[in-house]
């Protein structure tokens, strides 16, 4: 592990390079202040490395420095992408779409992005106001752009922002484009190489007709519209968590016919400080508290809350006791897939998709209904790549991942919380029309296909030292994998970095055909699955745990869930020491 003294030396040298470069006066003052601080930690965290343009773009804490999100790191990323676009499309005019969410400085960084693209002779379709990320994905294909960028850090804490790059199919960058763009970005060695001077004639404002086209596509995918008409007064509570969802989710629900949608007023106004939540992440119950309290007070049937860029949604439903039950990402996706699959008229040449860390219940249900289930690496860009590769060959139905991302239909090529909110509301209407509830459907699904429960442990390790600790933990699991976890014998090991699956009972090995990725999976004799991977967007290592059992009597649902919860806790305790 690199010593603090070495990191300080590297950071100081990099900071002095910034001071000597052609940056603005205010940025120079901030760099000088870091150099003069008695405690060097902030200097190291800001400059110990150059913020990498990874396969998903950029994400980091906002501030001055090579390892932060600022005008210059955004400028480098955009100039590198512009250079690659011009090399890839030398004989045709290049167009890009640029959007942004509610985070602090998002609008400013979007304008910087548009300025740099336009200065390179590229036509920019710029959203005039914040809008959900899925609309940016939709815009790329609808406007026939070659690329696109959205300024967002998704559900990260308020200190963060980011830069997500998309290709001409509306999906985030995948090979070979991701690596090629990274090469172009890394080739920029001076801020003087960035063309910051905008060409306003190249920047066009996106009009409302784009949203109209999007709403029309949503209308096409919603099933059981007759149920919505009958259940139009169904009470729904929605929160945008101070994000971009407020611009589209309520309108989308209204257009479908839902007339009783309550908005959480305290969280209606977009605000990058997210003043009413500790974290704007609908995966965390605390972010849903205001919406849940309101729903309980007014007797609502469904609670939905979206993250700042509106690509993820948290779902709350009522249990038989009248209490709200928060679906985790695996449960929500499973319920959505169960509803879709059992109502599918023609499963021939159809497929659904999910990521390798998402519940295997989806695989089991798809097999039962005669539909192929394709597993991809973590990240919707791989699902989008799968859709592109199968266009004209197979019919894509729906996809999702455990981290609260869902997609029905392929008109958007990324996870989409706007259409997901519409779909879950339509599912509620269909259930009520049958005299059922979403909770009742959930238990019925588990009774039919098995009760699966999943858990997720995030071990956070911040800064330069934390990055080294995460790397060491992965190396330890890879070089010395456990043979027993919480008393369960490990029988299969899948190493996606080495592309090998090993049967630990007989030693047989077979190749893993997915692209290489720093992921390990351990499968036990009792049917548990444990996945370990470092986060690609946050300073943490993730442990995904899945266990299951047969649920013969729905009355035993809570007791069975508790039993599986104990199993998960034991596994987590054994892994995270």
Half-sphere exposure of residue 411: CA atoms within 13 angstroms, side-chain side: 18
Helix 249-256 crosses helix 209-221 at what angle (to 10 degrees)? 50
| Active-site residue, 9 included | no
Please give the structure tokens belonging to residue 77: 């990323």
DSSP string covering 468-530: HHHHHHHHHHHHS--SEETTEEEEEEEETTTTEEEETTT--EEE--SPP-S-EEEEETTS-EE
CA 61, 63, 68, 71 torsion: positive or negative? positive
Question: Do 342 and 334 contact (CB within 8 A), yes or no?
Answer: no
- Say if strands 372-376 and 350-355 run parallel, antiparallel, or are unpaired: parallel
Q: Name residues whose C-beta falls within 8 Å of residue 193's C-beta, 6 or more positions apart in sequence.
A: 79
> 52: which DSSP letter?
P
Question: Do 510 and 437 contact (CB within 8 A), yes or no?
Answer: no
Q: Name residues whose C-beta falls within 8 Å of residue 506's C-beta, 6 or more positions apart in sequence.
A: none
Which residue out of 154, 403, 419, 531 is catalytically annotated? 154
* SS3 assignment, position 335: helix
Q: Taking the CB of residue 444, how many other CB atoms lie within 10 A of it? A: 14
**Among candidate residues 173, 133, 179, the one with its CA nearest the CA of residue 154:** 133
Angstrom distances, CA of residue 17 to CA of 20, 27, 190, 315, 480? 5, 13, 10, 48, 42
Alpha-helix runs per DSSP H in 247-379: 249-256, 285-298, 329-342, 361-368
Please give the structure tokens belonging to residue 345: 């008229």
Q: What is the dihedral of CA 260, 306, 453, 499, to 10 degrees?
A: 150
Question: Residues with catalytic annotation?
Answer: 154
């Amino acid at each position: 592990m690199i010593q603090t003294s070495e990191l300080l030396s590297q950071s100081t040298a990099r900071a002095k390079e910034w001071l000597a470069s052609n940056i603005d006066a205010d940025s120079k003052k901030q760099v000088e202040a870091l150099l003069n601080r008695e405690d060097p930690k902030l200097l190291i965290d800001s400059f110990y490395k150059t913020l990498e343009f990874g396969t998903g773009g950029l994400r980091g804490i906002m501030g001055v420095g090579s390892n932060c999100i600022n005008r210059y790191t955004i400028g480098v990323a955009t100039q590198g992408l512009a250079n690659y676009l011009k090399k890839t499309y030398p004989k045709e005019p290049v167009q890009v779409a640029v959007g942004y969410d509610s985070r602090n400085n998002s609008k400013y960084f979007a304008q910087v992005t548009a300025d740099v693209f336009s200065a390179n002779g590229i036509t920019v379709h710029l959203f005039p106001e914040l809008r959900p990320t899925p609309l940016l994905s939709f815009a790329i294909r609808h406007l026939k752009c070659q690329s696109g960028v959205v300024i967002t850090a998704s559900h990260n804490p308020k200190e963060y922002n980011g830069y997500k790059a998309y290709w001409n199919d509306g999906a985030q960058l995948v090979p070979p484009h991701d690596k090629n763009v990274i090469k172009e970005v890394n080739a920029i060695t001076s801020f003087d190489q960035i063309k910051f001077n905008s060409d306003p004639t190249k920047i066009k404002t996106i009009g409302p007709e784009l949203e109209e086209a999007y709403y029309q596509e949503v209308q096409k995918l919603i099933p059981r519209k007759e149920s919505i008409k009958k259940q139009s007064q169904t009470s729904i509570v929605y929160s945008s968590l101070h994000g971009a969802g407020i611009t589209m989710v309520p309108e989308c629900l209204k257009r479908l016919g839902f007339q009783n949608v309550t908005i959480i007023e305290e969280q209606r106004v977009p605000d990058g400080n997210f003043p009413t939540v500790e974290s704007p992440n609908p995966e965390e119950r605390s972010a849903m508290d205001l919406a849940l309290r309101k729903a309980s007070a007014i007797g609502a049937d469904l609670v939905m809350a979206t993250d700042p860029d509106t690509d993820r949604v948290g779902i709350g439903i009522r249990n038989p006791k009248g209490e709200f039950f928060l679906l985790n990402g695996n449960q929500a996706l499973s319920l959505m897939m169960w509803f879709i699959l059992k109502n599918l008229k023609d499963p021939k040449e159809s497929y659904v998709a999910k990521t390798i860390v998402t519940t295997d219940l989806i695989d089991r249900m798809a097999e039962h209904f005669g539909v192929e289930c394709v597993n991809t690496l973590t990240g919707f860009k791989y699902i989008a790549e799968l859709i592109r590769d199968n266009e004209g060959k197979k019919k894509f139905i729906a996809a999702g991942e455990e981290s609260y991302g869902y997609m029905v239909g392929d008109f958007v090529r990324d996870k989409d919380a706007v259409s997901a909110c519409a779909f879950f509301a339509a599912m509620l209407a269909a259930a009520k029309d049958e005299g059922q509830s979403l909770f009742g459907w959930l238990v019925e699904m588990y009774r039919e296909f098995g009760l699966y429960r999943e858990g997720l442990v995030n071990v956070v390790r911040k800064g330069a030292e934390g990055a080294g600790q995460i790397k060491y933990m992965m190396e330890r699991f890879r070089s010395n994998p456990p043979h027993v976890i919480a008393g369960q014998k490990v029988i299969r090991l899948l190493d996606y970095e080495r592309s090998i699956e090993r049967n630990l009972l007989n030693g047989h090995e077979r190749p893993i055909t997915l692209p290489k990725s720093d992921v390990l999976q351990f499968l036990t004799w009792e049917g548990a699955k444990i996945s370990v991977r470092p986060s690609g967007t946050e300073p943490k290592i993730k442990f995904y745990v899945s266990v299951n059992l047969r649920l013969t009597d729905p009355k035993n649902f809570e007791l069975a869930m508790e039993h599986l919860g104990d199993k998960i806790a034991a596994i987590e305790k054994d892994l995270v020491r």
